[in-house]
Structure 1
């Protein structure tokens, strides 16, 4: 029996969708709000983009700041978390021999940003090896701190890792790195809407997060938060009019990021609608939605681990709205490094109608399945995934 909440989305009913973590899925109500914004923009493009947009962005930023428990002065909208990472890393003034720290659980696109900046400056990317499976959060902290050196300039740390779905103890990591005089850039691509956020207390040097994933805003909605003492040096990935054209009552930080050129800003303007909608889905608001998804992800992992005869790779305390499990030995055959999409992931979708990413991770590389839990999912979805994996591992073809 599908979740009755699936009616709020436009998802294809023929597909068991367990990959909310990649791009999210925007509910009907939020899509309708975006359509209204687009209609208003196209009725009077100049009025909307030149005259109205600054105040509209300020209003949307206020709502987002309330959600993130942050000061709106410290927030700007960006297209995605990768754009936020680009803005921070490419604003650094690196010297030969400087080090940029990350972990082996990071996101490839963001690792590429570090690598490009390091290559240009003659600097170095240092990768902390965080064990997986792991027994507790102390192994994460110890692995990161063991990679710190006197040359470490910045640490880019995921809040929730993409390949392994681990919730890193980000507050403890930030404070530990601060004690060594190191700024932290938190890649929070998966965090907003999946875990509680209080950026005013967290206070890293920088935090970037997607809103199109667990907040269910339209694609193209994300944010960058910067501590006040780091804002003057920041430049967006796209330098535009705001670099030398000031607006009364706005900071240089907002001026530089608010107008990256002609674009469709309706995803940003729809963020308040997404926040309001997600908070109204259950009586307990966002807290109940987050807890419901976390419990579903944990129970789904236990169900699949039993069905596939796999051990749990981390405690439930390190999970949010996603989880990963090692695939059976029969599905660990090479090639493990060919193609953008793993052949097992392709077959899950093509032969069994299940959309779930298969991640190739670790040294040597092994195949993991990552599955998401959103309000439209139910336990039966994970049973379907388990049966599909078993059929593939047994060499069976679809009925």
Structure 2
């Protein structure tokens, strides 16, 4: 049973539609009122005296915000810079690396499509081989992932790129173990941690990776436009933002802190998002969300007669559940099912085409409760998406 402090009791903290069931926090997050209010205060201050704000207030305020975020994710603020989103952070790393013809870059088939596209672009430009490691669903355990990665590494591997939490299949990859495996072979590691901050307990500096890209607008509920890039101290000198501006050559934080005129208020509002997250329970909230997602996934698996994309130990506040073969295949069918769930049942949830099956990916945030997922199961049954024949 849902405790008295979460679920419906806190839904008013967000501006979400009252008549909708929102099971897709994972895509773009949802920013609570108190954080939006803080962002509005920053914007009002900016517009009262834009020159003073940009030239004198923002440089210090960004560094203070980075320090607070660093404390939350297990990193030094001086090793962390803000970006528009995790994809921008990934692109900054890829555009800075001296990839050459004959080199190899590895990632997995579960990588976020935007990151795969960035890898394709930079590898094609450099004449570098991109190896995409198959990870068929369902994934059995962490050992299956590490074994697949180990088999793909060669003497020519110059970079490995892994998700911390895969976007479509919602699988927590064993990034510390993967980093150790790569480090033993002299392979630098870039982690796409778009879904991790606010979902997982983080110690980025302790993972053994070289670069870590993250988002604050998803599970940390900061405003859209608050991504970040962490770089190990000895991996910072080679990095440059994809937009080169006035601070070129002045160091890692200086270059990324100023890439031209932009709205800095999403990054400046991150401390307010962290405060809100902690008010709702912090580590307790993260554990509660994972437990709710697990309970919901098990219920849907039972009702549909299918399976989840990974065992519970490899899932957090999201879970992907396979739909039966009767649901069909392909992205066109997935889009049609999504639209029906929204327009006919007022349920917002992703329906994804992965390999030869359709999957529904559920999210569990503080404002969700178990009846939300019962309503999803009821809707799927009414739509004729039943159990296996």
Partner of 1:146: 151
Match of 1:372 among 350, 363, 367: 363
Partner of 1:249: none
Q: What secondary structure, in the 3-state scheme, does the structure 2 residue paired with 1:367 have?
A: strand
Partner of 2:313: 317
2:346 aligned with 1:342: no
| Residues 290-317 of structure 1: per-residue CA shift (max 9 Å, x gap) | 0010000000001111111223442211
Q: What secondary structure, in the 3-state scheme, does the structure 1 residue paired with 2:10 have?
A: helix
Contact 2:213 2:228 in 1 (8 A): yes
Q: How far is the alpha carbon of 1:352 from its aligned partner?
A: 1.1
Partner of 2:108: 103
Contact 2:171 2:309 in 1 (8 A): no
Partner of 2:193: 188
Q: How far is the alpha carbon of 1:199 from its aligned partner?
A: 1.6
1:225-304 matches, cutoff 5 A? 225-244=230-249, 246=250, 252-282=251-281, 286-304=282-300
Match of 2:89 among 79, 84, 87: 84
Match of 1:9 among 6, 14, 31: 14
Partner of 1:94: 99
Aligned residues: 381
Structure 1: 5+ residue stretches without partners: 247-251
1:125-136 matches, cutoff 5 A? 125-136=130-141
Shift of the 65–235 alpha-carbon distance from structure 1 to 2, 3 Å rule, reads: same
Q: How far is the alpha carbon of 1:338 from its aligned partner?
A: 3.8
Shift of the 155–394 alpha-carbon distance from structure 1 to 2, 3 Å rule, reads: closer
2:59 aligned with 1:54: yes
Query: How far apart are the structure 2 equivalents of 1:106 and 1:82?
Result: 12
Query: How far apart are the structure 2 equivalents of 1:218 and 1:394?
Result: 36
Partner of 1:116: 121
- TM-score normalised to the size of structure 1? 0.93
| Residues 60-104 of structure 1: per-residue CA shift (max 9 Å, x gap) | 111111111211111000010000100001111111121111100
Q: How far is the alpha carbon of 1:394 from its aligned partner?
A: 5.5
Q: How far is the alpha carbon of 1:152 from its aligned partner?
A: 1.0
2:49 aligned with 1:40: no
Contact 1:203 1:227 in 2 (8 A): no
Shift of the 38–113 alpha-carbon distance from structure 1 to 2, 3 Å rule, reads: same
Match of 1:306 among 302, 308, 312: 302
Contact 1:328 1:393 in 2 (8 A): no
Query: How far apart are the structure 1 equivalents of 2:220 and 2:156?
Result: 37
Query: How far apart are the structure 2 equivalents of 1:97 and 1:350?
Result: 50
Contact 2:87 2:115 in 1 (8 A): yes
Once the two structures are overlaid, the 10-residue window that deviates more, 386-395 or 184-193, is 386-395
Q: What secondary structure, in the 3-state scheme, does the structure 2 residue paired with 1:90 have?
A: helix
Contact 1:324 1:370 in 2 (8 A): yes
Structure 2: 5+ residue stretches without partners: none
